[in-house]
Chain A
């Protein structure tokens, strides 16, 4: 799923009113912040900022931070406080949205223009505010989300959040290295034991979850099946033709045949069964319904192309 598609699905699922001057509004909510000038966006990553300043002048953090009012000395991300300021009924969905963007954007599944737009727009919707934290690569916001979910979700919800991330973001049968690593981490901080992550993956994908990725090792790269690596490159897939993009939705490459398409579609659609998310909110149900619709569209387009 591309960033555009993910955004469309969020917008279909819930259109929030866009707050004016969100930074000021959020700023006043930072009652746990030791410094009154803190803003909602919180602490930038040290390495991110110092080096972007050198290498990407158009997004230089110093100017960007001035423009957005971000305080570089903030010791907290601010996401936790921002989340607490939202309606209690929205907090779970907003946390899930953060994780979904974290996982998707981590694999660079977003429009290259999104970053510029998000950092240059002063008044952001809730969804764009979350994207901003994610695009800033604010690891402390990520930690805030994990902490919030640990304290505020049930075991069943945690399991279903993991299933939702899998159903929404994994195309085909091989998670990207990032997806594999994050899912393993989530399963540990969520204490998934019955079923375990491995059992969920085996059930939902029909295969064993690949071993912990070691992208720092040449030996690991040599073990990867031919063809799988190209399916991890969302930017390249987006730049491809329509058939390639639809095939990628189902985890297939451009050589896909009819029998592959049907089999991949059946598995993917089964992962999107709404009964699997009965402890989540209506918003997540709308997301998963939208994913089902997109999968069906890709199946139909591929079948028509091959007919």
Chain B
């Protein structure tokens, strides 16, 4: 993996019940490129990418890739390149890991993940459906290559549907595919589209929401091949002031790729 695809592994140290992995993120990281249009923020999914990379290098990593996430919290915005430390500790079950991610000594994120065999092999199905006339770049601050949602398929109060096509300029691309964990970002960007659309309708544009957590997620696929078309659907399940919780579902054809409940916060 080259550093410009996302991050580079610097060091890996095994301990009795886990491991510590150190990654460098440069200003040239693809995660920074277009995330966002006016302000550089390293996305939470970039840190989750480090977790999936590290978990695959644990003794239990042979059990498979990350298939579940639980109680993930992104505690601070990452606005600069730097050296991240991912600490993994074995959970109660053999296939569970808790993780903590720090940057220059500050805790940035933590949570738990599980590994296993995903439900679905590398999918081949393509997702059709007509796009609606809506410019997503008017609604969200993400820009290519980090704008992972291409077009809107539907938008109404409390619900949005978008389409993504996996491109070879997505982060973490390797041998013609990207890790399934990037579906968290396609779902998050779909939620961002919904927030932007609703705020435009309410004529309350301004402010920006950030992904602050993942209550739970299930990943049914390990890799997404370049060219795969993905349908992302999100629905609002809770909203209070600038805080909102969304249920998200990513599919291709009739095949479920990922289900997630994500949390976003727009500082008042």
Tell whether A pairs with B. no
Binding site for B on A (CB under 8 A): none
